[in-house]
Amino acid sequence: MIKNIKINDDDDSVRDLQTLIRQPSISAKNQGLVECADLVAQIMLNAGIDTKLLYLTNNNNNNSTEVEEEDNNNNSNIPSPPATQPSPSSLLSSPPPPIVYGEVKSKSNPNGKTILFYNHYDVQPVEPIELWDKNPFSGNIEGNYIFGRGAADDKGELIARIKAVEYYIKKTSDVPCNVKFIVEGEEEIGSVHLKEYISLYKEKFKCDGVIWESGFVDTRGRPIISLGQKGILSVEIISKGPCRDVHSSLAALIENPAWSLVRLLNTLRDNNGKILIENWYNELRDFTDEEMSLMEKEPFDEDALKKEYGISCLVNNAKGIEVKKAFAGMPTCNISGLVSGYVGEGSKTVLPSIAIARLDFRLVPDMVPQIQFERLKKHIRKYQSSNSNNNNNYNAASSNNTTIEIRFLGAEPAARTSINHPFVNIIKEAAVEVYRDAIINVSSAGTGPMYYFNKLLGVPSVCIGGTDISNRSHSPNEYMRIDLLNKTIKCMIVILEKFAFSCY
């Protein structure tokens, strides 16, 4: 065991993080992914990690390409995207970006446990770009902060893990347990190929526990150890009216598809956040007594959240335990994008021919994305037919003049690791040692592909990381705190040690 772990400011973690931030890697735009994967691989190799780029097919003329042929076991429990809908990846002309895979075998403990770090090198788009104080890819340092898209989510977290392993190797020429890295390039677009990667490389990825790519530290400096993730269903709803944009004087005669879209959207969710789609909540289960008691103890600074975002109260006016229940376990329906007609400079009296909404639905354990998608489609069909058949307030005009189409954009099921798994306790003990205190959270409100690790690899996954709770991930001026970067490196070192000597 290493005594007196000391992360020095002259370590190159900050410099390496800047290098990664300065390489744009926006999966939504298929921008800079391979370049970023190469950079990550280089940093891992420099750290002493045996590193390879993995691909789904062997059509790539890349020396480090490696395809293992494995049994494709029966994964019929894993919901797939609907077959009739194109997946976003099928729209891309290039093959899926590689996974950067890393491995360090423990010399002293080769038959011991294996820990797997799951991270991603892709980032969210930077829009609205005008709200950034600096170039989103500057990696600019101001005091304790490194700014840039991906600074926290997830390049900062990734660097912390690599540097923890590097520190260990440099100090001891070994690692206390076997270590694996999976660094993917499509997390921000729903990890569209991760399930395939895990199926294909199942033997290679074998491990005893997964440290998740992200983890928050609260305003009082306590890491939030999160045991689950919500799922997601992302769709686009397209309302089509006249075959081209029309002079708005024709609004007296021609139905506007933006009105149809507004009316439909208004049937999806009430003012209190409740989703109004039939059977939407069928699979929603109550929290267990243990989860409830954990949530009761869990601190949640409502005032800090409100102050941070300039709001005066929360959805459904939730307070106390209701806030925590909603955050960890309430399905949501969010409008992530709306567009129709003209909102540029000046005004344009146009009746648009099309109106589009993007929605993301967060899901909770036991909700199957494909089933939820079918429920949504049924809702829309019902809405359209009620518009054409009901002679009271609705009539044929709306449904015949405008048609609603729905497009599947992506989905992931929710996942939760049991509070009672010994892996959870190891992480908690390490966190308390480094941060003095730690919070166990039943589930994050965010989404990731945890479900595939838990189900396909059959191991527990736990989120722990060093991302300031107000880090502005997915927003302008995203940052990583340097003090937390260093603390995370230290925490990962302690986890490696405690994990090596655990006996579950």
Residues 19-78 contacting its own copies, CB under 8 A? 26-30
Length of the chain: 504
> What radius of gyration, in Å, describes the C-alpha atoms of the chain?
24
Min separation Cβ 371 and its own copies, Å: 21
Exactly one of 106, 124, 199, 488 binds its own copies (CB under 8 A); that residue is 124
Nearest CA among 450, 486, 420 for reference residue 118: 450
Exactly one of 292, 350, 419, 432 binds its own copies (CB under 8 A); that residue is 350
Min separation Cβ 279 and its own copies, Å: 20
Instruction: Tell me which stretch binds its own copies (CB under 8 A): 3-11, 286-294, 453-461, 466-474.
Output: 466-474
Cα–Cα distance measured from residue 268 to residue 272, given in angstroms and rounded to the nearest whole number:
12
Residue closer to its own copies by CB (options 285, 348) is 348
Min separation Cβ 381 and its own copies, Å: 17
Asked if residues 360 and 233 have their Cβ atoms less than 8 Å apart, the reply is: yes
Exactly one of 58, 334, 385, 389 binds its own copies (CB under 8 A); that residue is 334
Exactly one of 67, 284, 292, 315 binds its own copies (CB under 8 A); that residue is 315
Instruction: Tell me which stretch binds its own copies (CB under 8 A): 41-49, 76-84, 338-346, 370-378.
Output: 338-346
Q: What is the dihedral of CA 315, 316, 319, 323, to 10 degrees?
A: -60
Residue closer to its own copies by CB (options 13, 332) is 332
Both tokens assigned to 423 = 């892996």
Residue closer to its own copies by CB (options 127, 290) is 127
Exactly one of 318, 440, 450, 463 binds its own copies (CB under 8 A); that residue is 318
Contacts of 4 (CB under 8 A, 6+ apart): none
Burial class of 76 by CB neighbour count within 10 A (0 to 12, 13 to 18, 19+) = exposed
Q: CB 446: neighbour CB atoms within 10 A?
A: 16
Q: CB 3: neighbour CB atoms within 10 A?
A: 5
Contacts of 22 (CB under 8 A, 6+ apart): 137, 138, 139, 148
Q: Is 335 in the site for its own copies (CB under 8 A)?
A: yes
Give residue 495's identity as a one-letter amino acid code: I
Cα–Cα distance measured from residue 63 to residue 61, given in angstroms and rounded to the nearest whole number:
7
Asked if residues 51 and 44 have their Cβ atoms less than 8 Å apart, the reply is: yes
Q: Is 286 in the site for its own copies (CB under 8 A)?
A: no
Residue closer to its own copies by CB (options 178, 239) is 239
Residues 210-229 that bind its own copies (CB under 8 A): none
* Biggest alpha carbon–alpha carbon distance for the chain: 80
In order, the DSSP letters of 81-106 are --TTSPPGGGG-SSPPPPEEEEEE--
Q: CB 102: neighbour CB atoms within 10 A?
A: 25
Q: Is 474 in the site for its own copies (CB under 8 A)?
A: yes
In three-state secondary structure terms, 262 is helix
Min separation Cβ 335 and its own copies, Å: 4
Q: Is 310 in the site for its own copies (CB under 8 A)?
A: yes
Asked if residues 254 and 241 have their Cβ atoms less than 8 Å apart, the reply is: yes
Instruction: Tell me which stretch binds its own copies (CB under 8 A): 61-69, 302-310, 433-441, 455-463.
Output: 302-310
Exactly one of 81, 88, 148, 413 binds its own copies (CB under 8 A); that residue is 88
Query: Residues touching its own copies: how many (CB under 8 A)?
Result: 106
Instruction: Tell me which stretch binds its own copies (CB under 8 A): 175-183, 431-439, 467-475, 490-498.
Output: 467-475
Exactly one of 36, 146, 164, 356 binds its own copies (CB under 8 A); that residue is 356
Phi, psi of 307 (to 5 degrees): -65, -45
Q: Is 396 in the site for its own copies (CB under 8 A)?
A: yes
Residues 127-186 that bind its own copies (CB under 8 A): 127-128, 131
Q: Is 95 in the site for its own copies (CB under 8 A)?
A: no
Nearest CA among 114, 145, 304 for reference residue 222: 304
Cα–Cα distance measured from residue 230 to residue 71, given in angstroms and rounded to the nearest whole number:
29
Nearest CA among 154, 151, 164, 208 for reference residue 430: 164
Min separation Cβ 354 and its own copies, Å: 9
Instruction: Tell me which stretch binds its own copies (CB under 8 A): 108-116, 138-146, 340-348, 482-490.
Output: 340-348
Residue closer to its own copies by CB (options 72, 349) is 349
In three-state secondary structure terms, 157 is helix
Exactly one of 120, 161, 362, 487 binds its own copies (CB under 8 A); that residue is 362
Exactly one of 34, 169, 284, 314 binds its own copies (CB under 8 A); that residue is 314
Instruction: Tell me which stretch binds its own copies (CB under 8 A): 16-24, 249-257, 283-291, 372-380.
Output: 249-257
Cα–Cα distance measured from residue 17 to residue 15, given in angstroms and rounded to the nearest whole number:
5
Min separation Cβ 233 and its own copies, Å: 11
Exactly one of 86, 221, 299, 337 binds its own copies (CB under 8 A); that residue is 337
